[in-house]
Amino acid sequence: MITEIRYNRPMTVELSGLRKTFGAVTAVDGIDLRIGDGEFFSMLGPSGSGKTTVLRLIAGFELPTAGTVALDGRDVTRLAPFERDVNTVFQDYALFPHLSVQENVEYGLKVRKVAKRERRERAREALAKVRLEGFGARKPSAMSGGQRQRVALARALVNRPKVLLLDEPLGALDRKLREQMQVELKAIQRDAGITFVFVTHDQDEALTMSDRVAVFDGGRIVQVGTPESVYERPASAFVADFVGSSNVFSGETARTLFRKEGTFSVRPEKIAITDEPAAAPGTVAEVIYAGPVTRYVVDLDAGARVVVVEQNSRTPRALAGLRGQRVRLGWHEEHVIPLPSGKDSAHAS
Amino acid sequence: MDAGVDGDQGVSMHRHPRWQLAALLTAPVLWLVVAYLGALGVLMVSAFWTVNGFTGGIVREFSLANFRTILGEEVYRTVTLRSVGVAAAVTVICVVVAVPMAFYMAKVASARARPWLVIAVLTPLWASYLVKAYAWRVLLGNGGPIDSLLGGPGRGPGYGLTATVIVLAYLWLPYMILPIHAGLDRLPDSLLEASADLGARAGHTLRRIVLPLLVPPVAAGSIFTFSLSLGDYITVQIVGGKTQLIGNLVYANIGAAGNLPFAAALATIPVLIMVIYLIAVRRSGALEEL
């Protein structure tokens, strides 16, 4: 089920009936999507789910097999990339190696014949925005990965596009830098008021930065919504599993635990180890200490293996002794999410 | 330690890296020093010898007579300039033809066609140089296919300087295509997409992104086409008519005139020009990105 959240603002990107096939392979299989003005929109999915192809269709690097792409209410389906008011930050940054950082940033302005003085000024501003003042004379090869990433961002932003497309721009950075850039990107987006369409396979990234997230699977969008709604109310077992991790129950196990027919999902952090006599009994199979949290793997007597995540906010339990012990697991009724029983709701692990 | 293994030649090689290095490098170093630099050294030294006018025997005494002749006589200056001009023209023609061809091979053709196109470019190198030159002699002959194509006998370039340039450009073209193709192959498609994304049309992308990035491979290719043209003496004999280049002057002095020292002195001219050319290319920074 696709939840379409309507914003009371004009739509910048509108995709309808979008399809793209490469030979016998269908990369994008019928996508309808509306992205609002100034929105930070993420396309999340595993590799091969079609999210990058959709981005390339918006940029104009690929032409769709069927369907239309409209930018700002204007049909651009058949227009070349240089005729579209969008800019792209590439996964490999695609900086021009023979040009200096300054020349790279000025490239788009120079192509559009912006006067030299204004070009200089705007490039300087853009570089300041990504905190690279004074780096203009360097060659891209003399910069670190994180710095190159920012140059790529400045080179796109300097053109003040209607929409900025970002293709896994943080993928090549190490964890610390990535988290820092997530915060910066979000700030830059809010500042510039530009629509960001952000492709990623990293669910944390998508949840952290986005106004809305579209989850892709097999060339289709399986759910669209705010990070909270996608996480708290996944529309399918695939979404429940891909966005965060999830315990999925079905069949006999579900009947025993919930006294209801169907497939259900419960997030690991919403399950607690408790003393309540009514809670579900099981045996601890594994205890994994992970710094801020501890993960318990519990085999329920009802027949499912369940992951429980507990904050290490108090002095941790005597962990080693817990393995093999009998425990009881409890949860709140509202945290049990019913999932549509379909082809991908069969696994209960 | 196992004695059986210790006696094994291969294993002891691994334990003695110096021996390993020596075994690896002896043959190539010998080749470089004796065959390559040795021959060049003999050439340099013999350029300062002379030939006895009566006996025809070689006088092994230091003399600047050969160089005085070369620098003093108008004909040698003309021939040198003509040879450099031919080499430069051949190089320019090769670049102009090779860039679009290599671009098509590396970026436009389907992935399945690409290896076949590379093979097609290499195929002419399998045929004998002489056969190809004579084939062009037939093509360019008076009343030959090129003449008839252009509308009758005498309409084509005939044998001469133009014919020499055309045939040399044909012969050395693969040496220009291959480095440019390799350079374009390494050029990520995302650079071309980024340029289009920033608003540039294909022509602008070609001028501002592709061509500047092709300077190092073109420099590499030009070293081949330039030096091969500068040293050539067969093509010019076959299709050059009465044209004289450094190469066939050297050949004439070795063969008909039997003046080996003077031939050696003449042969130092292309060596000198190539050294200057390489220094110029290096100065431009093109070699650093190879």
Residue of B nearest to A82 (CA): B199
Helical residues (DSSP H) of chain B, grouped into ranges = 3-6, 9-15, 17-30, 38-46, 65-72, 74-103, 114-126, 129-140, 145-149, 161-186, 189-197, 202-205, 211-213, 215-231, 234-239, 246-254, 260-283
Confidence (pLDDT) at B11: 55
What is the tens place of the pLDDT at every residue in A34-53?
999 999 999 999 998 999 99
Residue of A229, B175, B125 whose CA lies nearest to A215: A229
> Would the CB atoms of B197 and A155 count as touching at under 8 Å?
no
Q: B-side interface with A, Cβ within 8 Å?
A: 188, 190-191, 193-201, 204, 208-209, 212-213
ipTM above 0.85, yes or no: no
Residue A1 has pLDDT above 50, yes or no: no
Cβ contacts (< 8 Å) between B199 and chain A: which residues? 82, 108, 111-112, 159
Tell me if B191 and A98 make a contact (CB, 8 A cut-off).
no
Most confident among A64-68, A132-136, A180-184, B109-113 (mean pLDDT): A64-68
Are residues A154 and A186 in contact, defined by beta-carbon separation less than 8 angstroms?
A: no
- Superfamily of the domain at B73-289: MetI-like (1.10.3720.10)
* β pairing state of B50-51 and B58-59: antiparallel
Least confident among A121-135, B32-46, B74-88: B32-46
Contact present, A302 and A237 (Cβ < 8 Å): no
Q: Find the radius of gyration of the CA atoms of chain A.
A: 24
Q: For chain B, what are the domain ranges?
A: 3-46, 73-289
Is residue A58's pLDDT more than 90? yes
Transcribe B210-244 into DSSP letters: IHHHTHHHHHHHHHHHHHHHHH--HHHHHH-TT--
pLDDT value at residue B101: 95
Q: How confident is the model at residue B1 (pLDDT cuts 50, 70, 90)?
A: very low
Measured between beta carbons, the chain B residues lying within 8 angstroms of A86 are 197
Cα torsion angle, B106, B110, B111, B112, sign: negative
Which of A92-96, A167-171, B144-148 reaches the highest mean pLDDT? A92-96
Question: Residue A267 in 3-state DSSP?
Answer: coil
The yes-or-no verdict on residue A7 having pLDDT over 60 is no
Q: Average model confidence (pLDDT) for chain A? A: 88
Return the residue matching tokens 């045929």.
B127
Mean pLDDT along residues B7-24? 70
Task: Name the superfamily (CATH) of residues A246-345.
Answer: Nucleic acid-binding proteins (2.40.50.140)
Residue A180 corresponds to which tokens in the numbers above? 């820092």
Per the model's pLDDT, the better-predicted residue between B258 and B199 turns out to be: B199
Mutate to test the interface with A, among B112, B189, B198, B205 (most CBs of A within 10 A): B198
Select from A81, A95, A98 the Cβ nearest to the Cβ of B197: A81
Q: Rounded to a whole number, what is the distance in Å from the CA of B198 to chain A's nearest CA? A: 5
How much is the average pLDDT of B15-21? Answer: 81
Nearest to B265 by CA among B47, B43, B83, B51: B47
Q: Which of A92, A98, A107 sits opposite B212 (nearest CB)?
A: A98
pLDDT exceeds 90 at position A310: no
More confident site: A112 or B16? A112
Q: Quick one: average pLDDT of B121-149? A: 90
| Residue A58: Cβ within 10 Å count | 23
Select from B110, B112, B193, B197 the residue whose CB has the most chain A CBs within 10 Å, as the one to mutate to test that interface: B197
Say yes or no to pLDDT of B65 above 60.
Answer: yes
Contact state of A59 with B195 under an 8 Å Cβ cutoff: no
- Contact state of A90 with B193 under an 8 Å Cβ cutoff: yes
**Top-level class of domain A11-241:** alpha beta
Looking at CA atoms only, how far is residue A97 from chain B in angstroms? 8
